[in-house]
Structure 1
Amino acid sequence: MAYIVNKNDRLTVYVEDLTHDGSGVAKVDGYPLFIPNALPGEEVEVQVTKPMKKYGLAKLIAVKKASPDRVEPPCHVFWDCGGCQLQHLSYEAQLVQKRKTVRDVMDRIGKLPHVPVHPVKGMENPWRYRNKSQIPFSEKNGETIAGFYKTRTHDIVDTDVCIIQSEEADELMSTLKHKLHELGIRAYDEINHRGMLRHLVIRKARATGELMVVLVTRTKKFPQKEAVIDVIKSVVPEVTSIMQNVNTQKTNVIFGEETILLHGKPFIVDTIGDIQFEISARSFYQINPEQTEVLYGQALEYAQLTGNETVIDAYCGIGTISLFLAKQAKEVYGVEIVPQAIEDAKRNAELNAIDNAYFEAGPAEVVIPKWYEEGKRFDVLMVDPPRKGCDEKLLETILEYKPRRIVYVSCNPATLARDLRILEEGGYRTQEVQPVEMFAQSSHVECVAWLEI
């Protein structure tokens, strides 16, 4: 098959835009080339690595004319690690680019050029914001390594520092990496399914300072367990919880089904606003606590609650948004497909003495019609789905029962735009979209959309 470009071609191109994953986009006679680490407005020399029918991939060889927004990444492994995509772009320009990303998909996918997309609500300090770190461990040339996966691979980029996670995570990652070898504990070999320590997961509560350390192991048997606990306590004496999660499967999924308490409590407590949450090893909890308050504040603003409304919170997780809503609504009904999350949500409601929030496990598209059949009626629907967007059957359910207002919280602008188009065709009107920064230095952006019937 003949392509406009061929493998190993060297070209000088002008970068027009960024993809959703932070790669530069240039065009050769209308044929798109995606170039990691290239920025809009730059003239760059590239080498084609993979020509395909509709687009090609290329690697950056040299920047001939740099963008005025290009900066030196402060992280020493940025060029190899896949955790961040935009450290080489100034933070102000990152926010501009993220708004543009949202605007583009609203126009192209959502066919919603009339809907306002506001400037991104950014961070004052876009570093050290992650309250959760998931660090893979392995071995290389007989040495224990730990860090983060190289882009589109399972090759670990070895490092002792990550400047978007907590200092405690850095210290634990570095110390354990060097101590495991001394203790005779082997890190996990993913290819041969050998070794013991697979991942180190660290969760820190911003408001309380409580810290949880989870050791994900290939076997339930844990040699030198007490010695490892002592190492962790020597690094962070104030550690609240040390857990072992057992994952015996040959898989790239981090957690297994069994979690064992090794030290302290089985959860940590954090607060968002004035609401407390108990967070266990596998709870879903937003990773940027400072911006979570901004995100939920925006969702509440769009919900326009007066105290008389009955609200559905679909994809409610451990009840984080539900409990915020319950403070200002008549009643809130949360639904989530993960039973453990619903148990956590009920416990968090009790913890905060909130008695007007009700939770049920199951698919939203099954549970919501059941609630209507039971005679319940809802004024506002809150949805916060995973990256794939709302389930098609849930969208059908929404359009059948038509709550008068929808607040849609999204971590993927493309699937948000797709779902808004479906809801628009069903009679809703999107009023506005507010992007919120949750993942600084990455190409991801969260959004809150407001719809009315």
Structure 2
Amino acid sequence: MPKLIPPVKSGESIELMITGLSHTGDGVGKTEEGFTVFIPLALPGERVRVKIAQVKKTYAHARLEEIIASSDERVDAPCPVFETCGGCQIQHLTYAAQLTMKQQQVIDAFRRIGGLEHTKVLPPIGMDNPWNYRNKAQVPFGQRNGKTVAGFYAAGSHQIVEFSHCMIQQPENDRTIQWVKNRVKELQIPSYNEKNHRGILRHVMVRTGIHTNDVMVVLVTNGEHLPRKKELLSSLIEKIPGLTSVVQNINKRRSNVVLGNENRLLWGDPVIHDYIGDVRFAISPHSFFQVNPLQTERLYREVKNFASLSGKETVLDVYCGTGTIGLYLAKDAKRVLGIESIAQAVDNARENAMANDIHHASFTCGKAEEVLPRWEQEGIRAQVIVVDPPRKGCEERLLDACVEMNPERIVYVSCNPATLARDASRLEERGFQMRGVQPVDMFPHTNHIECVTVFDRMEDKG
């Protein structure tokens, strides 16, 4: 069989018509030969000139050189570092068009990956004001020409892009980050150099409680020593409104993972608090807590609607983390059982249940695919199972264990339409029928979309 030769070469300039957007937010065009080219910053309906940057067997990546004919949906991105910072991918697209794009992304995933042609995908639930929504900022610190720099990583690299204002961060986070950055420079605290694994300050993380105004500052250091700690701490306490907690996190590893395992409380409380609905949650440096609290409440309302609880059900909260979904549903359920593989998260879930006087919720540490069969043998049954897996989706063994428990409904929360589509196909093969999919835009101006759906157990055919 003759070897197929791509019709484009690296460094070549060509004109393309953009026909769609990829799941990463890149424009998608095809050459006359049908060869696919991905172009960041290009939009559907545009004719563009691009320079081929990288050629693979079946596709290529290119850089946008010129927009020959522009899309009506193109807008000027308000962020001055949008094109270099990797935080947002689609600020140059109107928000209404962003929602349409994300709905199509979900539809395409169900068609191509799940083989489910007729899935009903509802319009995404968007935000009235799609800015300043993030309650958590993680900013890497580094060195450039011997000077401290802090910002966000450029797309696909560890090159730090400095910024003076992030338009998707809560204003409190933004102000705190900028103040800490300036103070670190004044005190000449050495920032981290990931090439030689030297220097002190690796990241600064800020978390804000939207409903409580609590602020946590986490200083991630390359070792136990933090020079001029007292001076930095005293000025933080003086200058940061709402400051509740200052933590030093120690991360000595040569790793891309932001947080190490050890936290040292420098001042205040070890946690901050925030609410989802009327449930109060404690948030530690390591806690998973959704970054868009306003949309989280909308997402969880959809989960509650799909769960259709009457107060008589036992609910399983699988991949429960710190118990946010299970505790949010608890007042409408007879019993809540959570399963999580991370011990610290289970401890947090139990503490959150106690703090909210929720006594009919309990949480178990372990792998769900191992815990569920044991519970079934012990006679435990659940009418509703809620799963909220990581991006890789559910292990097939877990889906089998859920099916074996024979629930009435399985509510599936997903941050990745591709793995949701795959798992939807698997559940339908196992006798559960999906009603439809409700996307929720948790991350405006990025390519990400959250979804929730429900699978009803089909009656056995006699």
Q: Is the structural similarity TM-score above 0.5?
A: yes
Picking from 107, 121, 126, the partner of 1:103 is: 107
Q: Which moved more, 1:227-236 or 1:199-208?
A: 227-236
2:22 aligns to what?
19
Matching of residue 442 in structure 1 with residue 446 in structure 2: yes
- 2:35 match: 31
* Map of 2:460 onto structure 1: none
* 1:199 CA drift (Å): 0.4
- Mapped contact 1:51–1:57 kept (Cα < 8 A): yes
Structure 1 residue identity aligned to 2:359: D
C-alpha separation in 2, matches of 1:151 and 1:213:
25
Asked if residue 279 in structure 1 is aligned to residue 289 in structure 2, the reply is no
- Partner Cα separation in structure 1 for residue 241 and residue 49 of structure 2: 51
- Secondary structure class of the residue paired with 2:45: coil
Equivalent of 2:352 in 348, 351, 369 = 348
The reply on whether 1:311 has 2:304 as its aligned counterpart is no
Counterpart contact for 1:160–1:173, Cα < 8 Å: no
Letter aligned with residue 64 of structure 2: L
Q: Distance in 1 between matches of 2:148 and 2:182?
A: 7
The answer to whether 1:268 aligns with 2:275 is no
The answer to whether 1:118 aligns with 2:122 is yes
Contact kept? 2:177, 2:206, Cα under 8 Å: no
Instruction: Tell me the CA shift for residue 396 of structure 1.
Output: 2.1
Higher mean C-alpha deviation, range 247-256 or range 388-397: 388-397
Shift of 1:173: 2.2
Distance 1:235 1:174 in 2: 12
Tell me which amino acid in the other structure corresponds to 1:167: P
Following TM superposition, by how much is the alpha carbon of 1:282 offset from its aligned partner in structure 2, in angstroms? 0.6
- In the alignment, residue 216 of structure 1 is paired with which amino acid? V
Aligned pair partner of 1:401 in 380, 405, 408: 405
Query: Does residue 165 of structure 2 align to residue 161 of structure 1?
Result: yes
Q: Which amino acid aligns with 1:118?
A: L
Query: What residue is the counterpart of 1:145 in the other structure?
Result: 149
From 353, 365, 390, give the equivalent of 2:369: 365
* Equivalent-residue separation in structure 1 for 2:380 and 2:255 (angstroms): 42
User: Contact (CA 8 Å) 1:144, 1:178: kept in 2 or not?
Assistant: no
Give the CA deviation at 1:78.
0.3
1:169 positional shift: 2.2
1:129–1:165 contact (8 Å) kept in structure 2: yes
For 2:80 and 2:30, the matched residues in 1 are separated by 31
Amino acid at match of 2:18: V
Q: Secondary structure at the match of 2:134?
A: coil
In structure 2, the partner of 1:422 is: 426
Q: 1:47 aligns with which of 46, 51, 55?
A: 51
Measure how far apart 1:175 and its partner are: 2.4
Matched, 1:320 2:324: yes
1:229 paired with 2:240, answer: no
Match of 1:337 in 2: 341
Identity of aligned residues (%): 48
1:427-446 CA-to-partner distances (Å, cap 9, x unmatched) read: 11111100001001101000
Deviation at 1:325, TM superposition (A): 1.5
Matches within 5 A, 1:128-207: 128-207=132-211
* Aligned mates of 1:82, 1:51 — CA distance in 2: 22
CA offsets, 1:354-373, max 9 Å, x none? 01111000100011111111
Following superposition, the deviation at residue 172 of structure 1 comes to 2.4
1:20 alignment partner AA: H
How far the C-alpha of 1:261 sits from its partner, in A, is 0.5
Q: Output the CA distance in 1 between the equivalents of 2:243 and 2:350.
A: 26
Residue aligning to 1:390: 394
Alpha carbons 1:410, 1:416 under 8 Å: kept: yes
**Contact 1:15–1:38 at 8 Å: present in 2 too?**
yes
Question: Once the two structures are superposed, what CA deviation does each residue of 1:189-237 show, in whole Å capped at 9, x if it has no partner?
Answer: 0111011010000000011111101000001111111111123223314
Alpha-carbon contact 1:171-1:235 (below 8 Å) kept: no
Q: How many residues align?
A: 453
Q: Which moved more, 1:400-409 or 1:321-330?
A: 400-409
Deviations 1:318-345 (A, max 9, x none): 0000001211011111000000000000
Per-residue CA deviations over 1:279-324 (Å, capped at 9, x if unaligned) read 1111000000000000000000000000111111100000000001
TM-score (norm 2): 0.97
Post-superposition CA distance 1:107-144 (Å, at most 9, x none): 11112222210000000000000000000001111221
For residues 235 and 252 of structure 1, the distance between their equivalents in structure 2, rounded to whole angstroms, comes to 30
| Aligned match of 1:61 | 65
Post-superposition offset of 1:22: 0.4
Please give the secondary structure, in 2, of the residue aligned with 1:118.
coil
Give me the whole-angstrom Cα distance separating, in 2, the residues matched to 1:450 and 1:174: 43
Contact 2:6-2:58 at 8 Å conserved across structures: no
- Structure 2 residue 6 is matched with structure 1 residue 3: yes
Helix, strand or coil at the partner of 2:207: strand
| The one of 277, 290, 306 aligned to 1:302 | 306
Counterpart of 1:94, as a letter, is Q
Are the aligned partners of 2:54 and 2:60 in contact in 1 as well (CA < 8 Å)?
A: yes
Could you tell me whether the CA contact under 8 Å between 2:48 and 2:68 is conserved in 1?
Answer: yes
Match for residue 246 of structure 1? 250
Structure 2: distance between partners of 1:150 and 1:81: 4
Q: Contact conserved, 2:338 with 2:363, CA < 8 A, in 1?
A: yes
Q: CA RMSD in A?
A: 1.0
Gaps of 5+ in 1: none
Mapped to 2, the partners of 1:26 and 1:240 lie a distance apart of 50
Is the CA contact 2:283–2:289 (under 8 Å) kept in the aligned structure 1? Answer: yes
- State the one-letter code of the partner of 1:84: C
Whether the 8 Å CA contact 1:138–1:187 is kept in 2: the answer is: yes
Give the partner amino acid of 1:432. G
SS in 2 for 1:136: strand
CA deviations 1:253-286 (Å, max 9, x no partner) are 0010100101110001111111100111110000
